[in-house]
Amino acid sequence: MAAHTALGMILAVGWSGIPQADLSPLLLGLILWVVCLNGGTLAINSAFDRDTEDVAYLRAPPAPPRYLFVFGLSLMAVGLAGAMLLPAGYLAAYATCLVLSLLYSVPPARLKGVAGADWFINLWGFGALTPYAGWAVTGRPVTPAGVAILVGFGALFASFYPLTQLYQLEADRARGDRTLATVLGVERSLDLALGSGLVAFALFGLGGVRAGWLDLAVPLRWGGLAAAAAVWLGGLLWWRLEGARLSAPAHQRRMYLALGAWVAVDLAILAGFA
Domain 143-274 has CATH 1.20.120.1780: yes
Instruction: Give residue 46's pLDDT band: very low, low, confident or very high (50, 70, 90).
Output: confident
Distance CA 236, CA 3 (A): 23
Q: What is the pLDDT of residue 51?
A: 58
CA nearest to 222, candidates 237, 241, 201: 201
Distance CA 89, CA 110 (A): 27
pLDDT tens digits, residue range 66-83? 889 999 999 999 999 999
Instruction: Give residue 60's pLDDT band: very low, low, confident or very high (50, 70, 90).
Output: low
Contact (CB, 8 A) for 257 and 235: yes
- Going from the C-alpha of 256 to that of each of 114, 157, 160, 164, the distances in angstroms are 25, 14, 11, 9
Distance CA 46, CA 69 (A): 8
Amino acid at 258: A
Q: What is the pLDDT of residue 115?
A: 84
Q: What is the pLDDT of residue 244?
A: 82
Domain borders along the chain are 1-142, 143-274
For residue 56, pLDDT beyond 60: no
Burial of 99 (0-12, 13-18, 19+ CB in 10 A): exposed
Contact (CB, 8 A) for 149 and 11: yes
Amino acid at 157: F
Distance CA 98, CA 64 (A): 21
For residue 54, pLDDT beyond 70: no
pLDDT tens digits, residue range 84-100? 999 999 999 999 999 99
Q: What is the DSSP string of 47-60?
A: HHH---S-BTTBSS
Instruction: Give residue 16's pLDDT band: very low, low, confident or very high (50, 70, 90).
Output: confident
Distance CA 189, CA 132 (A): 27
Beta-bridge mates of residue 114: 178
Say if pTM beats, i.e. exceeds, 0.85: yes
Q: What percent of the chain has pLDDT over 90?
A: 66
Amino acid at 189: S
CB atoms within 10 A of CB 58: 11
Q: How far is CA 217 from the centre of its chain?
A: 32
Contact (CB, 8 A) for 197 and 156: yes
Distance CA 235, CA 220 (A): 22
Q: What is the pLDDT of residue 266?
A: 96
DSSP 8-state code for residue 106:
S
Q: What is the pLDDT of residue 163?
A: 93
E strand segments, 122-199? none
Distance CA 195, CA 232 (A): 12
User: Dihedral of CA 44/77/134/115: which sign?
Assistant: positive
